[in-house]
Amino acid sequence: MSTKVMMPVPQTSGHPAKEVVPKDLISIQDLTPEEVAALMDMTAQIKARPADFRGALAGKQVVMFFEKPSLRTRLTFEAGVNSLGGHAIFVDQTQQRLGERETLADVAHNLERWVDCVILRTFAHSTITGIAEHASIPVINALSDLEHPCQALADFFTLEEKFDDITKVTLTYVGDGNNMAHSLMLTGAALGAKVRIAAPKGYEPLADVTKAAQKIAAETGGKITITNDPVAAVSGADAVYTDVWASMGQEAETEARAKIFAKFQVNEEMMSHAAKHALFMHCLPAHRGSEVTDAVIDSPQSVVFDQAENRLHVQKSILLMLLGGGLRRYRPRSVNV
């Protein structure tokens, strides 16, 4: 493998500079709060001056195995790798899940001989941890049934752009306590934000993930709240977030969930309880008329496409963190050395 490049972490938002040691990104918990903050700073720099990073990953090969359909995740990773000078190889696994044709260990040991990084979008979280266990190269979770770390990092970067001081922000997530809720809690906790999760009884986030997020929040000054009352959760919030009620693989539950989640729809009445300046957020794709109405998602309060754009910038930071030698300071490539 080629020599690693050291990437800059400029002081754009007051976060302390800290070297991030290259490793996998399977869960937000793989990063310390300081590392999450450094990633936010790096993302701001990449977004502001993308030309400085062209060629930073020259010669790097990245393979993407996707068991689920994708628009934002696939294109933002492919565009990100290409713009950094690397090459992305896409493998469609929608017809056969990883581990069915040969063991995850055998797949991992093959991949580590050919490429520099593996990006996985899977159903089972164990598929990602299984590849990571056996591969000597970095593994990135591009979505699993447990977490969606890349999306949550882009979401909080979006909030930092809008509000600057994330420690003063209250984000309310309304809906299923799914992978998105998990990653939002963990990311918000790492950054010292206040995160409220409102879900129907029996659909709350997993207890162990909630406990982990609350432990992190206790160290950073953040706060994690779980409730079954969506109106109380939205009251005074700076941002209101929702996701589909039935994720991919749960289609058979769509009708039943529609009844259970009816009171959790984010509509104009629901948004009226939030702060006047409140933003609306969604990881997309949205089921318009279900978890959110057209009036809300198409309103001036909506930042869903800002979130989508920021997937590109955040994921470039993640790639540099794992393949570029960490988030250490160095002179940008635009400067003659």
Set 61, 176, 238, 283: catalytic member: 283
- pLDDT one-digit tens code per residue, 205-219: 999 999 999 999 999
Question: Which residues of the chain form beta strands (DSSP E)?
Answer: 61-66, 87-92, 117-121, 139-141, 170-174, 194-198, 223-227, 239-242, 279-282
The model's pTM is: 0.91
Give the domains, in start order, of the chain with CATH numbers.
28-147+311-323 (3.40.50.1370), 151-307 (3.40.50.1370)
Q: What is the pLDDT at residue 154? A: 98
Name the CA radius of gyration of the chain, rounded: 19
Q: What is the pLDDT at residue 6? A: 38
User: Residue 195 pLDDT > 50, yes or no?
Assistant: yes
26-35, 58-67, 245-254, range with the lowest pLDDT: 245-254
Q: How many CB atoms lie within 10 A of CB 47?
A: 18
Set 74, 121, 313, 328: catalytic member: 121
Set 24, 155, 243, 328: catalytic member: 243
243: annotated active-site residue: yes
- pLDDT one-digit tens code per residue, 235-254: 999 999 999 998 877 778 88
333: annotated active-site residue: no
SS3 assignment, position 46? helix
Q: Find out whether 237 and 170 touch, Cβ atoms under 8 Å.
A: yes
pLDDT average, residue stretch 254-281 = 97
151: annotated active-site residue: yes
- Sign of the alpha-carbon dihedral angle for 300, 306, 307, 309: positive
Set 74, 125, 196, 311: catalytic member: 311
User: Residue 330 pLDDT > 50, yes or no?
Assistant: no
311: annotated active-site residue: yes
pLDDT average, residue stretch 64-86 = 97
Set 148, 182, 257, 313: catalytic member: 148
Picking from 288, 247, 250, 284, the residue whose alpha carbon sits closest to that of residue 266 is: 288
Distance CA 175, CA 177 (A): 6
User: Residue 329 pLDDT > 70, yes or no?
Assistant: no
Provide the angle, in degrees to the nearest 10, between the axes of the packed helices 33-48 and 179-190. 100
Picking from 140, 87, 127, 131, the residue whose alpha carbon sits closest to that of residue 109 is: 131
- What is the token pair recorded at 78? 């492919």
User: Dihedral through CA 263, CA 266, CA 271, CA 275, nearest 10?
Assistant: 100
Q: How many CB atoms lie within 10 A of CB 331?
A: 11
Set 61, 151, 265, 307: catalytic member: 151
pLDDT average, residue stretch 294-298 = 98
